[in-house]
Structure 1
């Protein structure tokens, strides 16, 4: 069969039945999240770490080798979100509380969040996907003390428009720096804008950066929604 003779796509439309508003995709997302939350709760943090131990070892090896091959150079990408009805200050206040101890809220924001918890020496441990790789890394030095590397970053936005800035190195347990993050927030007439920049080793395949830009979009959208609900 030639391309011109290809069968037309099958289109399924929900005509009636459920009383709730939403599409079939919306229903599937709800049930997927509910199932995922159940498995996370049943396994617990250590159970997830045990289950993913082999994946994490491979993922961390990938990041370590990429960082060494890149010799300290990183490629940046930025996801930009706009929010209405919530100020940057309100959102960041919620984030501060969540990162201080609400792991459940942090995990729920993305299907590929496995651990998000304070670690040793004030660093924050994250186990999540970096591209297709499950990795365990630490974020440290959020705030002005860690802005030295970001001071000359091309992605740095004007202080007058984006006064809320946070930066961090992303590093493995052995201290290898495998990435960076720079998040900047500024109020608008209707809410705020979030500029979310991630830096990955230049030797990484392009899809690693692309997927983390998508990752940012998902997790921050969901965090913003939860922050708005908590304020109400």
Structure 2
């Protein structure tokens, strides 16, 4: 399977049959999510990690080499989402509870390429795709000297408009910093704006950054929807 997408030579439209609304793409997405949830549940957290062990080793080696050859320099990209119907404080309260809880399923469900999310003896661990690579990394460093970069980041937005900010280093188990994240939230009259910035080493192929901006869009959209559903 490649990342290249081509337009089909034929088109198919749904004329009648299924009850309710939705396109064929909607139906496929529902069934894909249901199948993925079943496999995650059957394999369990450790089963998934065992299954992906070789992929993780290869992915982490890729990130480690990118960090080495970039000599501490990063490229940034930002995804901006507009949410309506809830405040940023309501959403972030849900996120805090989700990350602090023992059930990682709400976090995993937000993206097909989420494999593990939780806290271990090192910190907040994330196992997910970085571009085409399955990687296992940690997030942390809030409020420490290691986070001084965030105070001078070009992507830092005015406190008056985006008062809720979270910044983090992304690092491997051996401590190698392989990325950064700066997410900023500001309320609007109808809801809130999420400004989601990720940084990867400059020697990473551009496609890796592009893919993660899409990854952000998918996972945060789904987390926001989940937060709204939990509040209802």
TM tier, shorter chain? over 0.9
> Stretches of 4+ moved more than 6 A in 1?
none
State the match for 1:118 in structure 2: 119
Look up the match of 1:106.
107
- TM-score w.r.t. length of structure 2: 0.94
Q: List gaps (5 residues or longer) in structure 1.
A: 1-7
1:20-169 equivalent positions in 2, closer than 5 A: 20-101=20-101, 102-121=103-122, 123-142=123-142, 144-145=143-144, 147-169=147-169
CA shift for structure 1 position 141: 2.6
Across the two proteins, how many residue pairs are aligned to each other? 223
Structure 2 segments unaligned to the other structure (5+ residues): 1-7
Counterparts of 2:118 and 2:172, CA distance in 1? 15
* CA deviation profile, 1:22-58 (whole Å, cap 9, x unmatched): 0000000000000000000000011001100110000
- Mapped partners of 1:147, 1:202: distance in 2: 19
1:120 is displaced (CA, Å) by 1.6
Aligned CA RMSD, in angstroms, stands at 1.1
Asked if the contact 2:147/2:169 (under 8 Å) is kept, the reply is no
Distance in 2, Cα, partners of 1:57 & 1:147? 27
Is the partner of 2:115 in helix, strand or coil? strand
| Cα distance, 1:148 vs structure 2 | 1.8
Q: Distance in 2 between matches of 1:159 and 1:147?
A: 17
C-alpha distance in 2 between matches for 1:156 and 1:104: 31
SS class of match (2:158)? coil
Name 1:3's counterpart in structure 2.
none
Q: Which moved more, 1:9-18 or 1:167-176?
A: 9-18
Question: Between Structure 1 and Structure 2, whose CA radius of gyration is higher?
Answer: 1
Alignment match, 1:229: 229
What CA distance in whole angstroms lies between the structure 2 residues aligned with 1:26 and 1:229? 19
1:200 matched to 2:200? The reply is yes
TM-score normalised per structure 1: 0.94
